[in-house]
Amino acid sequence: MFDERIVASFDDKETPFYYYDLKLLNQTLKECRSAAEGHKFHIHFALKANFNQKVLAAVKANGFGADCVSGGEVKKAVEVGFDKKQIVFAGVGKSDAEINFALDNDIFAFNVESVQELEVIDQLATAKNKKASVAIRINPNVDAHTHHYITTGLDENKFGINSWDLPLVYDTLKSCRNLEFLGIHFHVGSQILDLNVFKSLCIKVNEMQQWFEERGMPVKVLNVGGGLGVDYQNPDENAIPDFKSYFQIFADFLNIKPHQEVHFELGRALVAQCSSLISKVLYIKNGIKKNFVIIDAGMTELMRPALYQAYHKIENVSRMVEGKGFKAEGELNLIPHTSYLSYDVVGPICESSDCFGKGVEMPETKRGDLIALRTAGAYGEVMASAYNLRPAIKHVYSEE
């Protein structure tokens, strides 16, 4: 992602900032789209992963729809110009105001997460004399084998409707006149690298669609959610996820009828690799047991390590030379630098969890060096906070 020219262009920029490689973003979107097109799959981008204006513009330009989880996200998707018939609204706690906003904008569908929510959407739609299209989010009780904070498809999770409530869903759909049953929706979790998890999901989806169709309710849309993971360890080698193999699983194992559409809600896989958080070294502190590199970005700018013990590759880009490793202080030639030291890389926030990596091997690092926290394009800047009265996060973009 970085060469000397790019790193030199950071010199006059105020840190920390998110650097977006728009070329990589567009390549990723194009690969995903062409892999999906072969199967006629529809993709909605999960705005929760990243709602940066330029990112959304690229996502929209590449023909993706929008998967939203709040009124704010629906509003954003409408403002950016996503086709309203390609906007879905999910989330376990939609407020009346949010539902009304979505109804006013005639979005494609609500992914509904409880029986009570179905009744509320029906009431609000009736008051507007409108019909709301709904997909039922079913909790498939499939283990995503990912971090427990980002597992969503188990019985113990708050998401979706459990299978034992389906008879009640059926009765409610039959009695609510302003609801139109569109299909079924699933999402088992995030950062899933074991494609077998998606096979298990397909088996559940097949069972569930049969349940509805046997009761005379045609399932027009099979929405299988998102969750495809990325390679945080090797961001350069695996910059673009293997979309082909991912979609092939669904083509092979989903029982897709001629009248059905298959929808996906990808977030991370589309945007994670295209951004790095760039930060400057403020201080080097030599402890008794270890050396600390204190950088000017903290958990306020990238919360994932503090919240999920998530790994983000850390690079000292000031000492990095394209394809050749690192150069030592003062060297003009591009000579690989061999002396690596071990550092704990920490931020300035008053919390011990404000740590990006322990025992990180880097060439000898100095005050003023630029540090890149890689693969930060998904759930990075969108989860930033103002804790410690930190200023709003800044951005730098590559050429497209």
Q: Check the annotation: does 340 bind a ligand.
A: no
**What's the rounded Cα separation, in Å, for the pair 202 and 224?**
8
Q: Check the annotation: does 20 bind a ligand.
A: no
Assess 160 for contact with ligand LLP (CB under 6 A).
Answer: no
Query: Residue from 187, 204, 313, 374 that binds ligand LLP (CB under 6 A)?
Result: 187
Nearer to ligand LLP, 244 or 324 (CB): 244
Residues in 276-305 that interact with ligand LLP by CB under 6 A? 304
Q: Check the annotation: does 225 bind a ligand.
A: no
| Maximum Cα interatomic distance, the chain, rounded to a whole number of Å | 76
Q: Which two tokens stand for residue 275?
A: 């951004």
Q: Check the annotation: does 267 bind a ligand.
A: yes
Nearer to ligand LLP, 149 or 340 (CB): 149
Report which of 288, 305, 176 is spatially closest to residue 232, judged by C-alpha positions: 305
* Contact status, residue 219 vs residue 262, Cβ threshold 8 Å: no
Q: Check the annotation: does 19 bind a ligand.
A: no
Report which of 198, 201, 192, 264 is spatially closest to residue 229, judged by C-alpha positions: 192
Q: Is 269 exposed, middle or buried (0-12, 13-18, 19+ CB in 10 A)?
A: buried
DSSP state of 260: -
Q: Which two tokens stand for residue 8?
A: 């030199």
Closest CB 14 distance from ligand LLP, rounded Å? 26
Q: For residue 24, give every residue at least 6 positions away whose Cβ sits within 8 Å of its Cβ, in sequence order, or none.
A: 1, 239, 240, 273, 274
Query: Residue from 29, 36, 46, 376 that binds ligand LLP (CB under 6 A)?
Result: 46
Number of residues that bind ligand LLP (CB under 6 A): 23
Nearer to ligand LLP, 308 or 397 (CB): 308
Residue 24, phi then psi, degrees to nearest 5: -65, -40
- Name the 3-class secondary structure at 30: helix
Closest CB 103 distance from ligand LLP, rounded Å? 20
Query: Residue from 73, 122, 265, 344 that binds ligand LLP (CB under 6 A)?
Result: 265
Closest CB 160 distance from ligand LLP, rounded Å? 9
Query: Residue from 86, 152, 279, 316 that binds ligand LLP (CB under 6 A)?
Result: 152
Hey, how many other C-beta atoms are within 10 angstroms of the C-beta on 180?
14
Query: Residue from 65, 153, 225, 357 that binds ligand LLP (CB under 6 A)?
Result: 225
Assess 377 for contact with ligand LLP (CB under 6 A).
Answer: no
Tokens 């999906």 belong to 36
Report which of 307, 329, 219 is spatially closest to residue 263, judged by C-alpha positions: 219
Q: Which two tokens stand for residue 283?
A: 């201080």
Nearer to ligand LLP, 169 or 269 (CB): 269
**What's the rounded Cα separation, in Å, for the pair 332 and 155?**
59
Q: Check the annotation: does 331 bind a ligand.
A: no
Q: Check the annotation: does 154 bind a ligand.
A: no
Segment contacting ligand LLP (CB under 6 A): 16-24, 119-127, 219-227, 350-358? 219-227
Segment contacting ligand LLP (CB under 6 A): 4-12, 45-53, 237-245, 367-375? 45-53
Assess 227 for contact with ligand LLP (CB under 6 A).
Answer: yes
- Per CB under 6 A, residues contacting ligand LLP are 46, 48-49, 67, 90, 150, 152, 187, 190-191, 225-228, 265-269, 304, 308, 378-379
**What are the binding residues for substrate?**
268, 304, 308, 351, 379
